[in-house]
Amino acid sequence: MDDEYWMRHAFALADRAEREFDEIPVGAVLIGADGQVLGEGWNRNIADHDPSAHAEIVAMRQAGGALGNHRLVGCTLYVTLEPCAMCAMALVHARVARLVFGASDPKTGACGSVFDLVADPRHNHRVEVVGGVLGDEAGRRLTNYFRAKRGRPLV
């Protein structure tokens, strides 16, 4: 799989979150074992009044509907920011095979930064994790979103 290609696709989704909904710009796309897009999403917490509507959850819900199954076996999730604990455990429960993320999250990251929930040996499923794909660009995009909100110069 072309990790950078799909990460750029996730960036485009993150751009929509910011541009169309003024949401924190995080985007996610879930690719099936056959290489087809099964689900995509961006943060919708504010727009949907839903604390669970993170980009990863939105993409996984769409994929589950497309497959007619709550298991996303053999799939890869691309997301611009390292998943939080809620999203990390959703990946485990859905049996996602592989996670590729852009920027690490030093505050709430749960896939290697603050916590490493997906690798915990007590789970009956492990998710392969590749972090830092286009990570500098992913981090800069998020930093600039928050800097703009605070009226500070972009980096």
Q: Which has the closest alpha carbon to 99: 79, 120, 113?
A: 79
Residue 141: DSSP 8-state: H
Work out whether strand 128-130 and strand 98-103 pair parallel, antiparallel, or are unpaired: parallel
Q: Can 56 be counted among the known catalytic residues?
A: yes
DSSP codes joined into one string, 89-116? HHHHHHTB-EEEEEE--TTT-TBTTS-B
- The Cα 96–Cα 49 span in angstroms is 26
- Indicate which residue of 23, 56, 82, 128 is catalytic: 56
Two structure tokens written together for 118? 């997906």
Residue 77: DSSP 8-state: E
The catalytic residue positions are 56
